[in-house]
Structure 1
């Protein structure tokens, strides 16, 4: 009897153990099935390379993402993000369409609203450097310093500068809506602008009183040197006794173009030099034995950047003129475009540049010889022809008069 009782107890214990093991098995199996269906990782492993990880990520999204997966758009953004991972706002990826548009603009003509934009104190702050005179942006009332918050109701936060530019540009006759914040008046404005063909007016010139010439350079594009040379020859033909070069609100452009203009104003010697990651130095020098030899003033402001600072730095360091205004933007980096096999491209920061005296001005800017903040123009200051005679331009004229 005891033997039977012991057997019965052992049998029952065995059955219970099997039942427990079966329950555990079914539970684990169920968890594995749920994890599999949810796309959760079941084990930890090292990927062979980032491509291996991307392929797994793509499979998860293709199988589980709620909406349709736009693979081409994702690939473009992945490339953009890969480059953005450098943390350099000036090194950027261009799609084929973006690069074609970029080259078009640098040639001096494109379809858009005629407004130059740049980063502010951070990549989250997109500021208007200047609207080109007479363009849709200028006629819509957009002003230097306006912060762009939205393009067509879409917040620009998180977009690269090039992406924002592409959204603002568009076919002639179409409209774009910009939401702007104007710090000076603490206003949020919404403006509707009709796009047009923009022939970039990089040079404007005039004869001021007392035979003082004035040349405004809006940017250093491919057509700028020829325009500058024509303007200077026109003014010299009228017998100028001094020259004001206005670089205010000029965001920069091609280094070879600013070097060519510097060659007209600076005597033989250094204009600018660069150093790359390997410490290799390249120099751009003037070889002009008969440069401009009359009193010269260069006007700058906080939006004078890059190539503008190269010219202002050369004039200041070489002692051939007086720089007037406020501290410049502070972009002392050089970029180069590399076209990829499919027509897309990447713009890469390849070097630092230094003024003739060896100053590296990135994040610092150039201090003017005469510091003079811009005052609000009085009523009636606008003229039918020629530049507005604001206090900075008046100071430039005063300096030239004193040197004649």
Structure 2
């Protein structure tokens, strides 16, 4: 009986929060008449406070409390009320986050976390989640996980189709604990399962070195809070070493903070527009570079099909300004912007709020950015954790282009 009382309370709370999200009024109010309900329905306006919706929820609630056999997880019922509203938008990038999921998301951009040391990307059409990078010396590498592994189960729960951020939160946990990760691997007839220890993972989003011919090389694996200073420090160090040209590697960089990407572009571009966004009302928000600094040496940008979102903002600006050559394969094609809205109870929702456009006015959503020089990575090295410089044919092509210049 106590569970059923909590269940009813869960339904009531769920209805209330849903109404607040929709900008409506409290359930049970007489302010919304049948006529206004019909008018909103005709206009396509979201109206989750309509009498029909309230009546149907009450009807389901009554059936559940009278006939449902098993115990009720009231927290789960409440969470799925909110999740259902967002799922109904049919937007693979929208999501509802519980308190734990939201906290995990915030932790993932602060520079360190307890995890296994991998980066993942998701095919938004199939829901398939793939490991794109395994950190050197990480628990994931020690356990035997490889780039290209398709994640099937995390902690014995299937994750295909789950929101990627939620999968990341499942992987994280208390330091020293282990988590089973099941993957599908090319050439293997059955799933492989690895017990991987969680440890403190220090995120170094930028690596750099000076290559032969005084060509600078900077790899950027994601755009986080820490990335801007790491990138600027790497660029300064290479210039102090006498670099004459530069390669920036955005392969397998799934994006991150647009603000970080724009701050880095401000150091490279001449004065002008970096990117702009437009919302559903046509409101335009522009991000610009100033005249203080710009990069005036030969530049190559390495990209591939896992270069997405903020990486494409970066690549689009470089291409539109004509200050660098894109080498690799077509980028992912994510030209929309999501924003996370924290809610009063510590949960949050992520919504698609605008489209972004390159300086020349191109929206590349569902299309991607074509490289100036197309080069497929040699399949023989595609699944290696660290690809030796001499075997990386995309990198070698970039060096060849810069040497000729």
Asked whether the two chains share a fold, i.e. TM above 0.5, the reply is yes
Q: Aligned pair in 2 of structure 1 residues 217, 376: CA closer, same or farther (>3 Å)?
A: same
Instruction: Please point out which of 61, 65, 70 is paired with 2:68.
Output: 65
Tell me by how many angstroms 1:71 deviates.
1.0
- Structure 2 gap segments, 5+ residues each: 1-36, 38-49
Q: Aligned pair in 2 of structure 1 residues 324, 195: CA closer, same or farther (>3 Å)?
A: same
Q: Is 165-174 or 327-336 further displaced after alignment?
A: 165-174
RMSD of aligned alpha carbons: 2.3
The question of 1:402 aligning with 2:392 is answered no
The question of 1:352 aligning with 2:326 is answered no
Question: Residue 56 of structure 1 corresponds to which residue in structure 2?
Answer: 59
Q: Aligned pair in 2 of structure 1 residues 377, 235: CA closer, same or farther (>3 Å)?
A: farther
Tell me by how many angstroms 1:251 deviates.
0.6
- Structure 1: distance between partners of 2:331 and 2:386: 27
Question: Residue 394 of structure 2 corresponds to which residue in structure 1?
Answer: 392
Give runs of aligned pairs for residues 72-221 of structure 1, distance below 5 A.
72-120=75-123, 122-183=125-186, 188-221=191-224
| CA offsets 1:187-244 (integer angstroms, 9 cap, x no match) | 6322221111122211111111111111100100011001101111111111111111
Question: Residue 3 of structure 2 corresponds to which residue in structure 1?
Answer: none
| CA offsets 1:39-63 (integer angstroms, 9 cap, x no match) | xxxxxxx981434422332232223
Give the match's secondary structure for 1:106. coil
Tell me by how many angstroms 1:133 deviates.
3.4
- Structure 2: distance between partners of 1:382 and 1:133: 7
Q: Is 387-396 or 184-193 further displaced after alignment?
A: 184-193
Q: Is 317-326 or 69-78 further displaced after alignment?
A: 69-78
Question: Residue 15 of structure 2 corresponds to which residue in structure 1?
Answer: none
- Structure 1: distance between partners of 2:347 and 2:336: 22
Q: 1:89 touches 1:123 (CA, 8 Å); kept in 2?
A: no
Question: Residue 372 of structure 1 corresponds to which residue in structure 2?
Answer: 375
Q: 1:90 touches 1:348 (CA, 8 Å); kept in 2?
A: yes
Question: Residue 240 of structure 2 corresponds to which residue in structure 1?
Answer: 237
- Structure 2: distance between partners of 1:343 and 1:221: 22
- Structure 2: distance between partners of 1:309 and 1:144: 21
Q: Rg larger in 1 or in 2?
A: 1
- Structure 1: distance between partners of 2:281 and 2:198: 44
| CA offsets 1:281-319 (integer angstroms, 9 cap, x no match) | 111111134311111100001111100111111111110
Instruction: Please point out which of 284, 289, 308 is paired with 1:286.
Output: 289
- Structure 1 gap segments, 5+ residues each: 1-45
Q: Aligned pair in 2 of structure 1 residues 121, 183: CA closer, same or farther (>3 Å)?
A: farther
Q: Is 369-378 or 47-56 further displaced after alignment?
A: 47-56
| CA offsets 1:144-181 (integer angstroms, 9 cap, x no match) | 33221111222224533233222211111111111111
Question: Residue 10 of structure 2 corresponds to which residue in structure 1?
Answer: none
Q: Is 126-135 or 297-306 further displaced after alignment?
A: 126-135
Question: Residue 30 of structure 1 corresponds to which residue in structure 2?
Answer: none
- Structure 1: distance between partners of 2:84 and 2:121: 19
Give the match's secondary structure for 2:144. coil
- Structure 2: distance between partners of 1:157 and 1:169: 17
The question of 1:338 aligning with 2:341 is answered yes
- Structure 2: distance between partners of 1:187 and 1:287: 54
Give the match's secondary structure for 2:327. strand
Q: 2:95 touches 2:350 (CA, 8 Å); kept in 1?
A: yes
The question of 1:306 aligning with 2:312 is answered no
Q: Aligned pair in 2 of structure 1 residues 63, 131: CA closer, same or farther (>3 Å)?
A: farther
